Amino acid sequence: MPQAMTTPASAAARSDSEALDRAALDALPTVASGLAVYYALLTIAHALLLPPGVREWMIPIAAASTLALLGLGSLLRSGRIPPHAAHAVSGAVALVALGNCVAHLVLVPEPRHTVNLFLVVVASGALLVSRRWFAVVSVAAVTAFVLVDLLVPQMQTDWLHYALALGAATVVGLLTLLVRRAAVLRNAVLARELQQRGAELELALGDAERELVNRSLAEAELRRSRAALEESEERHRAVVENALDAIVTCDEGGVVTEFNPSAERIFGQSRERALGLPLEALLIPPELRASHRAGFQRFLDTRRSDVLGRRLEMPALRADGSRFPVELAVTAVELAGGVGFIGFMRDVTEAAETRAALARERGVLQAMTAAQTAYIAGGDSREAFEKLLLQSVAVASCESAWLVELAARGVSGLDLVTRAALWAGGDGSSAAASAEEELERLRPHLVASASGRDPVRETLGPADELLVVPLRSSAEPIGLLVLRGRRPALDAQAESLLRSVAQTFASLLEATRSERRRRRAEASLRESEERYRALSDHTLDLVLEIERRGTVLFASPSASEILGVAPSDLFGRMLREIVHEEDRPLVAAALDETFRTPGRPVELTLRVLHAEGGVRWLETAGRNYRTASGNPRLVLTARDVTARKEIERRLAEARHAEASIGARIQEALLLGKPPRNVEGLEIATLGLASDVVAGDFFDFLRPSAKQLDVVVGDVMGKGIPAALIGAGTKSALLRVFAEASAAGGAPPGPAALVAAVHRELTPRLLDLESFVTLAYARIDLESRVLRLVDCGHTKPLHFVARLGACRVIEGSNLPVGILEREIHVETVVSFEPGDAFVFYSDGVTEAPGLDGDLFGAERLARVIETADGSEAGDVLDAVRGEVLEFTGSRDLADDLTCVVVRILDPEGDRVRGARCRRFSSDLEELEAIRAFVEEAVERGSAGAISEERVAKLVLAANEAVSNVMRHAYGGRKDGTIEIEVEADSKRARVRILDEGPPFSPCAPTLPQAELFAEGGYGLYIIHEAVDEVRYRRTDDERNCVTLVQRADDPLTARLPRSETAS
């Protein structure tokens, strides 16, 4: 059954009925109060006038009626009785009146009481049938009758009495009915007006809420699209920028559109120069350009190609014009603006060279590309704008209207969205003037009003007025509504109406903008995702995306080839599961460090487990980023370098073998043995081989008993060829010297010997494109001169004992093997006993320090000056120690070659009281050792060294021997300690030799001393007590600690003390 419909008429009738009920209820308190007063007065009248028999009954009845009516009136005034109870209340009042009338009729039987009873019965009947107007008339009649009864209680004519009562009651009832009816009607009219306005307000609020919700949804969708776009772009940028291969993209015109950092490195081209250039002119050799153009055009015409999807090896051009082989993979990508091509290129120069020479390295470079074309799609809102513009024209009665959108560059950039042009006349004609020209003419007026908030009116002519209404979104101006027409039409009222229209324009314009931005963001997101997939799906390297805990979220298809598993099988697995167990701590630490710093790059070389068994080496690079929700992600690009690692291992073995061969060559052929027992000379040599075989060599020749020739040389280059050339040079020199010696007569001078070697070797060296630096020095003890021929070698140093300083000996000849004709010149230097000559290779002066500086000749001279008067071996120990400490490593980049020749003083170097004695490692021997050292120094120096300085030397020797006993021998008493004491008028020297394990003492400060003494101060005491402390490991594998104490000589006292240890 259909539900009953409530019509507006029935609703109004029901509203009127409820209003009449309320009116009747409002009148009842007054009626009840009037009757209460009447019965109160009636009680008093009965008490005074009625006879005693009647009075006892009437007074209680009248009093009870008074109290009942008073209570009823109070209840009505409290508002607790609803309107629909008006009939019941009226009946209660009527019952009170009816009761009094019955009492009067019974106790005071008069005709008027009979009429009263009749009226009350009529009123009660009206109440019983729920007729409100009867109720009001009846109650009013009773009230009037009571008033008449009170006013004329002595009237004898009952009919007049009844007529007056009926007339008064009727008049009063009608008046009451009319007044209440008018009030009810007025209230009903007001209620309908309020209801109508409320409905209008509710409808307006609903439209505003829907508009606000739609705008919020559009903005939220835009933010999501932007976040997704940023995440995709970040992921794409991370892959491209960290790709290890060159990625070059071009459009269907062959113009380069992308050039990643690896491409810049490989081709030597900057990205700024490469972008916009034709690909063939940039990278392709001239002989291949024609075939490239033909294949390119064939693909554009037929979509078929012999290159796409294949790996090719072909030559390419660098920026300097040089050619090199690349491995190329090309793929095509369909873009909104046409076809894009992605080229993955890897420089395989190293791989080609490696295959030609023991397959040294398999280098694979891959190119990645991404189509960088953005198709921006916007909604067609012209129809909606035109409708609103027509509405604006109608509201303002203007002739034309424009909607101007403010461009992103500011209010000065005004872009026309659409136009509606109408005449204000009644003929309905229209004019289509040029909107662009008109807007350009009005531009100064529009720019001035764009930044405001209120409409701007401006008079353009006698009957021409311009109204510009700014359109704003929040606080930002986004457009203008421009209206032009006759001046009377653009009044204040039109402006007020246009404000609401302008707000609608602003909302629609902002919604259109948001939709346009959303579509752009979606298009960019799709294109970015397509680029990312094209890169990851076609790259030859492995691309992994990893979350913070190490879970793999994405793996490129190359995982099948590199790891032997499908990419889908890697999803959700932990990265550590595929990493070799020895590399897992390294990977965990690197990931933890990377995720702590946003944007931090990571580079690792690690081992992974292949699904079919075995280990693969991967070289990885990547960078982390954050998703829209703030979660960190890491994109890793990994390359399989297993073949290269195997080649490196073989190379290391080959280098080791080469170094062993070179060391044997150097030991057997290049480094000569110094002659023993050369009277007047002390000789020491040092030859430390580097990791790479070099061509350093030295040797010694004896022209006569009083002469010694020292030859030091170096061959250009490294490796076994350099060592062989050095050996050949040395052999030629020895042969020339032997032939000259066999001829008899005076031995030839250094210049003649070097010239003969130069003539023999230079043609061969020129053929080999090599040369040899050479220093040939002859030391003549009889004439006390040194004759030097320097052929481009490092400059020897001459230590002058009387000055305590070094001088550089300069030579002027070029290396052997540079010029065929060369005149060799000798440099002559005189010397004195106590002097020393130091010959060295560039491995000493060019040794690199930790800060990148070179050791240098000046630092070498300071070391020699510090070791003033020391033995030749001690000088070499000091030089070696300083160089190794300076480089911070024992792995030398070049051979360390040095020769020290010291000129002995026949008198000063004759040791007085030189003594040597062996002791056991028992601590009880310390007293005997102290006595032995003290007695030997005093006897040898003949009192030249003060007692105080002798005591300090004895203390230092005691501390040194004590620590040898405790630490070198660990408290054993069966060890052997050899002590040598040499002393003269200048200095005393104590050597302590033991057979314990090697150590490297240094000169500590007081808080750090714990290397020698049990109490922690032994080494500190030793260094503070004597002038020099030196340590070296002897050829027979013994520790040798040398303590030097100088005499109280003013010259030697001011010389710097050496604390060098090596």
pLDDT digits (tens, 9 = 90+) for 632-681: 888 888 888 888 888 888 887 777 666 666 666 666 567 778 887 778 88
Q: How would DSSP label each residue in 230-276?
A: HHHHHHHHHHHHT-SSEEEEEETTSBEEEE-HHHHHHH---HHHHTT
pLDDT band at 796 (very low <50, low <70, confident <90, very high): very high
Q: Are the beta carbons of 81 and 25 closer than 8 angstroms?
A: yes
Distance CA 572, CA 398 (A): 68
According to the model, what pLDDT value does residue 310 have?
A: 80
| Of the candidate ranges 14-23, 171-180, 990-999, the one whose mean pLDDT is the lowest | 171-180
| Candidate ranges 256-260, 433-437, 662-666, 992-996; pick with highest mean pLDDT | 992-996
Q: Are the beta carbons of 435 and 402 closer than 8 angstroms?
A: yes
- What pLDDT, in 10s, does the model give residues 191-239? 777 777 777 777 776 676 677 767 777 777 777 777 777 777 777 677 7
The 8 Å CB, 24+ separation contacts for 571-579 are 574/549, 574/550, 575/544, 575/546, 575/550, 575/551, 576/550, 578/608, 578/609, 579/606, 579/607, 579/608, 579/609
Q: Which residue has the tokens 């969708």?
A: 221
809, pLDDT greater than 90:
yes
**Number of neighbours of residue 50 by Cβ within 10 angstroms:** 16
Q: Are the beta carbons of 777 and 755 closer than 8 angstroms?
A: no
Distance CA 266, CA 363 (A): 13
Q: 1002 CB contacts (<8 Å, ≥6 apart)?
A: 1011, 1019, 1059, 1061
Distance CA 160, CA 147 (A): 14
Adjacent-strand bridge partners of 623: 601, 635
- What pLDDT, in 10s, does the model give residues 717-764? 877 788 888 888 888 888 888 888 877 767 888 999 999 999 999 888
Distance CA 1062, CA 1056 (A): 18
Sketch out the chain's domains with CATH numbers.
11-198 (no CATH), 243-356 (3.30.450.20), 382-516 (3.30.450.40), 541-640 (3.30.450.20), 670-903 (3.60.40.10), 912-1053 (3.30.565.10)
Distance CA 1057, CA 1045 (A): 10
960, pLDDT greater than 80:
yes
Supply 1036's token pair: 């027979």
User: Which element (helix H / strand E) includes 142?
Assistant: helix 132-151
134, pLDDT greater than 60:
no
Which has more pLDDT, 713 or 394? 713
| Candidate ranges 50-54, 664-668, 1011-1015; pick with highest mean pLDDT | 50-54
Instruction: Please compute the mean of the pLDDT values over residues 778-793 and round it to a whole number.
Output: 92
Angle at 85 (CA atoms; ends 79, 87), nearest 5 degrees: 125
Q: Which one-letter DSSP state was computed for residue 679?
A: T
Share of the chain above pLDDT 90, in %: 9
Give me the phi and psi of 461, to 5 degrees please. -160, -175
Work out the mean pLDDT of the chain and round it to a whole number: 73
The bridge status of strand 797-800 relative to strand 836-840 is antiparallel
Which has more pLDDT, 243 or 274? 274
179, pLDDT greater than 90:
no
Q: 362 CB contacts (<8 Å, ≥6 apart)?
A: 351, 354, 641, 643, 644, 647
- What pLDDT, in 10s, does the model give residues 325-357? 888 888 888 776 678 888 888 887 776 666 554
Indicate the SS3 state at residue 426: coil
